Amino acid sequence: MARALINAPAKAKHGEAIEIKTMISHTMETGFRPDSTGRPIPRDIITELVCRYNGEEIFRAELFPAIAANPFLTFFTVATESGTLSFEWTGDNGFSATESVNITVE
Amino acid sequence: MTRADGMSQRTRRRFLVETAALAGAAGLALRLDSDPAGATPASMQAAIRNVAGEAKLNKGRVKIDVPALIENGNAVPLTVSCESPMTQEDHVKAIHVFTEKNPQPNVIGVRLGPRAGRASVSTRIRLADTQKIVAVAQMSDGSFWSDEVEVIVTLAACLEGA
């Protein structure tokens, strides 16, 4: 399981736009680099990140090889209710990882 | 000059000419090899059209925030933000980022909604060359807005072997 880090406020005011920072360990092999024998190293990247707030999708990103290793993504969402933010990464070669954080909305 | 000398002169000249021709061909082959599928301004336009269709790309509302001079193209901090009230009626639906000279024009595509609150996305990207970055935002009313910046890259993201 790849290591994933989520940085989001644990508490927020209702209606406030909160910043969510995500990072996951992954080489993001582009598929454009040759190995020592000159053959291209096959592509192995994370292709998608989906974020859900209490089950409802609020953010989706499609990633390409031009995203740097250990993909870092920051985005915003409005704190509507207390609950869970869940994150799901999927990628080449059946890569899949999930992470979730709780948020309390006052 | 003896006859034998003349012969060797001719052979040597021929050898030199042939080697030069071979080297030239090899050089060309190498150059083609090292540029597997480089994105060009044309393929970037095609990728943009793939997202925006025939819609007009308006200038403004979108802002790319990236250092103008990049020392290391392997991880370049990039922020794309959009002016939008982000309400149900008027919000940013999607943001796409493209490059001109990376091996592939697409960089990232994100889907947002009114629940985002603020249309701003940050990530770290790879840049293979000094080039132009273009961001395109799709609004809920169907209009497209764009911004572009020129960046200088001193150390390109490695396309060579590890």
Q: What CATH number did the domain enclosing A82 receive?
A: 2.60.40.10
Report the SS3 class of residue A96. Answer: strand
Same domain? B150 vs B124: yes
Range of the domain at B16: 1-34
Look at chain B and report how many structural domains it folds into.
2
Q: Which positions 82-101 of A are in contact with B (Cβ < 8 Å)?
A: none
Judge whether B162 lies within some domain: no
* Choice between B24 and B44, residue whose per-residue pLDDT is larger: B44
Look at chain A and report how many structural domains it folds into.
1
Q: Which helix (H) or strand (E) holds B50?
A: helix B41-52
Same domain? B29 vs B50: no
Same domain? B17 vs B45: no
Write out pLDDT tens, residues A24-80.
999 999 998 888 898 889 999 999 999 999 999 999 999 999 999 999 999 999 999
pTM summary value: 0.81
The answer, yes or no, to whether ipTM is higher than 0.85 is: yes
Write out pLDDT tens, residues B78-87.
999 999 999 9
Same domain? B77 vs B149: yes
In angstroms, the CA B93 to CA B116 distance is 10
Q: Residue A2: CA atoms inside 13 Å, Cβ hemisphere, count? A: 26
Which residue is listed with tokens 């200038």?
A: B59
Same domain? B46 vs B63: yes
Q: What chain A residue is nearest to B35 in terms of C-alpha separation? A: A32
Judge whether A38 lies within some domain: no
Beta-strand ranges (E) seen in B10-118 are 57-59, 62-65, 69-72, 76-82, 92-99, 106-111
Number of residues that make up chain A: 106
The torsion angles phi and psi of A57, rounded to 5 degrees, stand at -70, 125
In angstroms, the CA B110 to CA A58 distance is 11
Q: What chain A residue is nearest to B30 in terms of C-alpha separation? A: A38
Same domain? B143 vs B121: yes
Q: Which positions 28-87 of B are in contact with A (Cβ < 8 Å)?
A: 36-37, 74-76, 79
In angstroms, the CA A84 to CA A100 distance is 7
Judge whether A96 lies within some domain: yes
Same domain? B16 vs B49: no
Range of the domain at A51: 4-33+43-105
